[in-house]
Amino acid sequence: MLLNKKQFVWVLTIISVIIIFVIWLFYLKDIVFAPRETSSNLNIMGSEFKKWLDETKKTQKQLESELKKTLDLSLISSPTSTAIDILKEKIIEESKSIEN
């Protein structure tokens, strides 16, 4: 049975719509399945961030211990002096010792 012109146009239209729909689905596959990939990437990025944060905390603790070594904590705890005054005094003392 041969198709007349009107039926042939309908068949071509349906086939082209199906082809366009399939191509569109392949395009959407990247969008639909991307969240899974993104979540795994976020997990990796989260673990890297956690490592960086741990290293930063270790560095902060090291810096705090070095600061405690360089400053007299008894002077900081006295109510009349502030940490800024102590730092100024230390800088002045060190500059005088460098000049000598």
Tens of pLDDT, residue by residue over 15-55, are 999 999 988 888 777 766 666 656 666 677 778 888 888 89
Alpha-carbon span 71 to 78, nearest angstrom: 13
Alpha-carbon span 28 to 33, nearest angstrom: 8
First to last CA, the chain: 112
Find out whether 42 and 36 touch, Cβ atoms under 8 Å: no
Find out whether 70 and 90 touch, Cβ atoms under 8 Å: yes
* pTM recorded for the entire structure: 0.33
Q: Count Cβ atoms below 10 Å from residue 26 Cβ, excluding itself.
A: 9
